[in-house]
Amino acid sequence: MTTLNENPALTAEPWGEAPANANRPRGRVAAAALWSVRHWSVVLAGAVLTVVVLWALAPGWFTSANPIAIGATQRLQPPSAAHWFGTDALGRDQFARVVYGSRASLLGSAVAVLVGVLVGSVFGSIAGWFGRWVDAALMRLIDVLLSIPGFLLAITIVVVLGYGILQAAVAVGITSSATFARLIRAEVLRARTSQYVEAAVAGGARSSTILLRHVVPNSLGPTLSLVTIQFGTAIIWIASLSFLGLGAQPPSPEWGRLVSDGRDFLASYPFLVLYPALVIVAVVLSANRLARYFAESRNHEH
């Protein structure tokens, strides 16, 4: 005779797998927390870039001051609760100018990276796919670009194109395209021997179709870490061009321009240079940290 305690129908768990499923969200939260602790520098870098991107997209969320409004009675005020980064020689709020300047700096860097990827992808894909004399000619051109100091080449291109943040971005992009071209060429050479490309060739697909649909998309993945590195480099170069007066023109705020405007007061009012410079350093270091993380993750996958 079966007793109450021995009845399997009564002793079975009434909720089935509910306890195990109920613990899954907790497990995911714990795993995310553990990952955040182990990769705290990656989390910090992502937070810095997120804040700066929000500055560029919605600057009004962070400051109500007008970045170009002149205040004759507020000249060269030190950092305070009213002006977090102080005011410049014209009485303009320095924090507002840093926040609004992120738009020009980030947009210019994004354009520079985009130009570099597009131009580099075109040259690298053609050289890697067709090979022979085409590859030799294009690679010699790339070697010439790489032999010239990048920043000097960017200055030369800006002088030809004219002054402005867009012209500076295009100049930096053209300068960095040689690096992308070499990487894309190497990836195209690797993709040429893959099965899906051989199947497309056997199917009679044209070279342009194979490049656009198969080779180039599968070659862009490894460039993610390089894109992040070049983004940080583009910020420095565009800021440097603006510092020299070749990039953003007054009264438009831009990080390099802010450093240039404050250098005449460096001895007496160092905060005019300090805060924009710290923002540039923080953004570049964050971009480089993410680039290293992406590269390490890709190496672990292989």
Residues 114-152 have pLDDT tens digits of 999 999 888 888 888 787 888 888 888 888 888 888 888
The closest alpha carbon to 242, from 281, 231, 251, 232, belongs to 251
Residue that wins the pLDDT comparison between 269 and 15: 269
Provide mean pLDDT across the span 266-280.
92
Q: Please determine, for residue 1, whether its predicted confidence score (pLDDT) is greater than 50.
A: no
Are 287 and 112 contacting, i.e. CB atoms less than 8 angstroms apart? no
Name the band, by pLDDT with cuts 50, 70 and 90, for residue 57: very high
Contact 74, 89 (CB under 8 A): no
Catalogue all structural domains in the chain, each as residue range(s) with its CATH number.
103-301 (1.10.3720.10)
Confidence (pLDDT) at 111: 94
Q: Is 12's pLDDT higher than 50?
A: no
DSSP 220-248: HGGGHHHHHHHHHHHHHHHHHHHHTTSSS
User: How many CA atoms lie less than 13 Å away from 140 in the CB half-sphere?
Assistant: 6
Confidence of residue 4 (pLDDT cuts 50, 70, 90): very low
Query: Which residue matches tokens 């580099």?
Result: 120
Region 31-47: mean pLDDT is 80
- For the chain, give the percent of residues with pLDDT over 70: 80
Whether pTM > 0.75 for this model: the answer is yes
Could you read off the pLDDT of 216-254 as tens digits, one per residue? 676 666 777 788 888 989 999 999 999 998 888 888 889
